[in-house]
Amino acid sequence: MATTTETAGALAELGAATLGESGASAMPSRIRRVWAGATLAAPAFPVRCTPGDNLAIHVAVTRAPAGSALVVDVGDVPDRGYWGEVLTTGALARGLAGLVIDGGVRDVAALERLAFPVFSRTVALPGATKSNRGAVGSPTTVAGVMVRPGDWVVGDVDGVVVVPGAAVEQVLAAGRARESAESGYFEALRQGSTTVEILGLDASLVEDGPAPA
């Protein structure tokens, strides 16, 4: 059985785009990395906040296992700075791997300087309250994707995907098979083949326009 470090490396090497075509669930494109170069592949620790409040995030930093990434739902109030330099410093001290949040963050320059991978819906200045109910470590829907303890979250320049914990090996196998097939495509294209030929596409469905005068 692969170690956590080996699994993280294998998922990161395949990347979000390939994994998203190989059985992982893709988050919507609004969830993007907040600084150039941020990448993430880690076990997910789900968090659910009361909209406009980040108490559950503060608690999650104290309870999430080292090496995991917080994956956070904030409901229908995304435009708050739910996360910033203070929480990042605390998360790093506890060995957390990163953050995915369907809401806002701030202190982006500090997040980059600290090399803490963050993928968010937006960047927002207004702060959040810290006094309302939430949940940590329980299955939570984040950006339309169910996230359970034991799942994996992978993020890079292409976006973010969630790999079900029970299907990691199957997704990795499918991803490697896809990567191998695409390597063959690249070689065939360099030798003069077309994507229409390689993929067996029906070109007859596309009409030609009138010939140039």
Asked if residue 183 belongs to a domain, the reply is no
- Which domain CATH number covers 109? 3.50.30.40
The domain containing residue 95 runs over which residues?
4-171
Min mean pLDDT across 36-40, 88-92, 104-108, 208-212 is at 208-212
Angle between helices 85-93 and 55-63 (to 10 degrees): 20
Q: Calculate the dihedral angle through the C-alpha atoms of 105, 110, 115, 117, rounding to the nearest 10 degrees.
A: 0
**Each residue's pLDDT tens digit, 120-164:** 999 999 999 999 999 999 999 999 999 999 999 999 999 999 999
Asked if residue 189 belongs to a domain, the reply is no
Q: How many helices (H) and strands (E) are present in the chain, helices listed first? A: 6, 11
Mean pLDDT (the chain) is 97
Asked if residue 94 belongs to a domain, the reply is yes
Min mean pLDDT across 44-53, 78-87, 203-212 is at 203-212
pLDDT at 2: 85
Number of domains composing the chain: 1
Asked if residue 184 belongs to a domain, the reply is no
* Contact yes or no for 119/33 (Cβ under 8 A): yes
Q: DSSP labels for 131-170? A: -S-EEESS-EEETTEEE-TT-EEEEETTEEEEE-GGGHHH
Asked if residue 199 belongs to a domain, the reply is no
pLDDT at 211: 78
pTM value > 0.85: yes
